[in-house]
Amino acid sequence: MSVSDQLFTRAKQLIPGGVNSPVRAFRSVGGTPFFVKAARGATLVTADDRELIDFVCTWGPAIHGHNHPRIKAAIATALEHGTSFGTPNPYEVEMAELIVKFVPSIQKVRMCNSGTEATMSAIRLARGYTKRDKIIKFSGCYHGHSDSLLIKAGSGALTHGHPDSAGVPASFAAETVVLPFNDRGALAAAFAANQGQIACVILEAYCGNVGFIMPDPGYLAFVRALTAKHGTVLIFDEVMTGFRIAKGGVQEREKITPDLTCLGKIIGGGLPVGAFGGRADIMDLVAPLGPVYQAGTLSGNPLAMAAGIAGLQLLEELNPYPRLDELGRQLRDAVLAACRAKGIPVQVPQCGSMFSIFFTPTPVRDYATALNGDAKLFGRFFHACLARGVYLAPSAYEAGFISTAHDGAAIAKACDVLAESIRSL
Ligand SMILES: *Cc1c(COP(=O)(O)O)cnc(C)c1O
């Protein structure tokens, strides 16, 4: 039995499903997960000493690859001075200054500990600001696991949703409207059906949690205009795209100004961090200045701030975005060519360091068209790649990520492996 299998057997006895976050369990691709004992650069080292080229990048945070020397050194320096103070610390100020400098729409920012906390708090703030209860989200957009957001479209889809998890009260779902992404008519109809009731629209401006999906040209501007017209707060959840699609996220690339933005993943440099920020007049409603309560014992933690600051500074120094996009296109082209040769229909949406491989003939522009993808075929493809040393996300509905540590050789090898794996299907 491999070391990973032994660990998984022990884990399953004590941890539900053997994992501390469900997608790690490999349920959607079959098989059992491998354990990782170390990671450096673009490489994961498994508990059984296999080396894998990693395109999951800890689900997004590792834009500089794993254990980057600068981030490691920043954590070590912070560690010398202590792990947590429960008081304001200097790193928090530097972090806030960097975020405001990078992200065009953010005037003030509050740190928290995860993306889930960021979206949950931003929604509470939007409700407090507008004094309205209902929110709009989109099918396939994931915003963490808080109650108001684990909702799917229901029968009266324009006015209320249904719980998408056991344990979410139907009364909470009644406050969340779930619409198809990229559908202007549906959004206009939902505003018409809920006049004066919508506190916020929250979306992944580029979706990364149902695979990677870009908005149609003009869609984000349409959402911005409609929310402004209805006095509704527009929240961009850039937990995944922030600092990745561009230094200032999707909002910089698309030149759209949301009212609030949620951040996470990259901002922690591999440690647990989240943040939400935006217009100063809205942010000033957050406690202790205002009536919207939000707090965190470890928020602004010095180690996490030091790691995140080092990561953001590196992005500023390197401006890696043009190169990451070039690497992304190489991967995309390799997959497209191999699938064409083999006669397998495929869509490979890609922007910068984010990409997805959907085995479907139809363009993917929302949740429904993402589900057209052949998930069984993806499972076989995933395992074919893994057997050849390339680790893609273990689900047909997750984005792939490239880091600055993926050098030309790693990408060339990965292109070969992807093509060979497609030929083997
Ligand atoms: C990962 C993610 C979250 C949740 O962040 P956690 O840190 O896992 O709680 C929220 N929104 C988006 C867009 C994400 O990708």
Would you state the structure tokens that stand for residue 110, as one six-digit string? Answer: 């509050």
The fraction of the chain above a pLDDT of 90, given in percent, is 98
Shortest-distance atom of ligand 1 to CA 116: 9
- Say which residue, 110 or 153, is predicted with more confidence: 110
Cα separation, 372 vs 17, in Å, equals 27
Q: Note if the bond before 302 is cis, omega within 30 degrees.
A: no
Contacts of 48 (CB under 8 A, 6+ apart): 2, 3, 4, 34
Q: How many CA atoms lie within 13 A of 223 on its CB side?
A: 31
The CA distances from residue 85 to 82, 97, 131, 267, 301, in Å, are 7, 20, 35, 20, 8
pLDDT score at 379: 97
Choose which residue among 20, 21, 23, 119 to substitute to test ligand 1 binding: the one with the highest number of ligand atoms within 8 A of its C-beta: 119
pLDDT at 174: 95
Reading the block at residue 413, the tokens are 């090898």
Q: How many CB atoms lie within 10 A of CB 9?
A: 12
Beta partners for residue 262, in sequence order: 237, 276
What pLDDT score does 157 carry?
Answer: 80
- Give the atom of ligand 1 at the shortest distance from the alpha carbon of 114: 7
The count of other CB atoms within 10 Å of the CB of residue 219 is 20
Q: Start-end ranges of CATH 3.40.640.10 in the chain?
A: 69-317
Provide the whole-model pTM.
Answer: 0.98
Q: According to CATH, what is the number of the domain 3-63+320-423?
A: 3.90.1150.10
User: Which residue's alpha carbon is nearest to atom 15 within ligand 1?
Assistant: 240
Question: Do the Cβ atoms of 140 and 395 come closer than 8 Å?
Answer: no
Burial class (CB in 10 A: 0-12, 13-18, 19+), 345: middle
320's tokens: 């890696």
What pLDDT is stored for residue 26 in this prediction?
A: 95
pLDDT tens-digit map of 278-297: 999 999 999 999 999 999 99
Three-class secondary structure of residue 232 per DSSP: coil
Q: Which tokens hold the place of 384?
A: 């074919």
pLDDT at 373 over 90: yes
If DSSP states are collapsed to H, E and C, what string results for 117-169?
HHHHHHHHHHHHHHCCCEEEEECCCCCCCCHHHCEEECCCCCCCEEECCCCCC
Query: pLDDT tens across 123-180, in order?
Result: 999 999 999 999 999 999 999 999 999 999 877 888 899 999 999 999 999 999 999 9
**Taking Cα atoms as reference points, which of 423, 425, 424, 413 lies closest to residue 55?**
413
How far away, in angstroms, is 265 Cα from ligand 1 center?
Answer: 7
CA of 344 to the centre of ligand 1 (A): 32
Residue nearest to atom 6 of ligand 1 (CA): 115
Q: Which helix (H) or strand (E) holds 263?
A: strand 260-264
Residues of each domain in the chain carrying CATH 3.90.1150.10: 3-63+320-423
CA separation for the pair 407, 391 (Å, rounded): 16
Compute the half-sphere exposure of residue 211: CA atoms within 13 Å on the CB side of its CA: 27
Catalytic site positions: 142, 237, 265
Integer angstrom CA distances of residue 218 from 205, 224, 256, 330, 365: 12, 10, 10, 27, 14
From 206, 210, 263, 265, give the residue whose CB has the most ligand 1 atoms within 8 Å, as the site to mutate: 265
- Please state whether beta strands 390-391 and 51-54 pair in parallel, antiparallel, or not at all (unpaired): parallel
CA distances from 280 to 105, 106, 248, 260, 330 (A): 10, 8, 18, 10, 41
Q: What is the pLDDT of residue 155?
A: 76
The Å distance, Cα 173 to ligand 1 centre, comes to 20
For the chain, give the number of residues.
425
Atom of ligand 1 nearest to the CA of 265: 7
User: How many of the other CB atoms lie within 10 Å of CB of 67?
Assistant: 16
Residue 73: φ, ψ to 5°:
-65, -40
Give residue-wise pLDDT tens across range 50-90.
999 999 999 999 999 999 999 999 999 999 999 999 999 99
C-alpha of residue 262 to centroid of ligand 1, in Å: 9
**What is the residue with the minimal CA distance to atom 5 of ligand 1?**
115
Measured by CA distance, the residue closest to atom 10 of ligand 1 is: 143
Instruction: Give the CA distances from residue 311 to residues 266, 308, 327, 388, in Å, rounded to whole numbers and listed in that order.
Output: 7, 5, 20, 30
pLDDT computed for residue 156 by the predictor? 80
The per-residue pLDDT of the chain, averaged, comes to 97
Per residue in 170-212, pLDDT (tens digit) is 999 999 999 999 999 999 999 999 999 999 999 999 999 999 9
Q: Which CATH number fits domain 69-317: 3.40.50.1100, 3.30.70.270, 3.40.50.1820, 3.40.640.10?
A: 3.40.640.10
* pLDDT value at residue 125: 98
pLDDT of residue 127: 98
Segments in 261-301 forming alpha helices (H): 280-283
> Which protein residues are within 6 Å of ligand 1, measured from CB?
114-116, 119, 142-144, 204, 208-209, 237, 239-240, 264, 274
Burial class (CB in 10 A: 0-12, 13-18, 19+), 287: exposed
Q: How far apart are CA 421 and CA 194, in angstroms?
A: 49
**How far does residue 226's CA lie from ligand 1's centre (Å)?**
25
Please give the share of the chain, as a percent, with pLDDT higher than 70. Answer: 100
Give the tens place of pLDDT for each residue, 341-371.
Answer: 999 999 999 999 999 999 999 999 999 999 9
Of residues 293, 294, 291, 259, the one with CA closest to residue 277: 259
Report the separation in Å between the CA atom of 356 and the middle of ligand 1, taken as the mean of its atom positions.
18
Between the alpha carbon of residue 400 and those of residues 24, 42, 59, 373, 383, the distances in Å are: 14, 13, 8, 16, 15
Q: Measured between alpha carbons, how far is residue 136 from residues 131, 146, 190, 230 in Å?
A: 15, 15, 8, 13
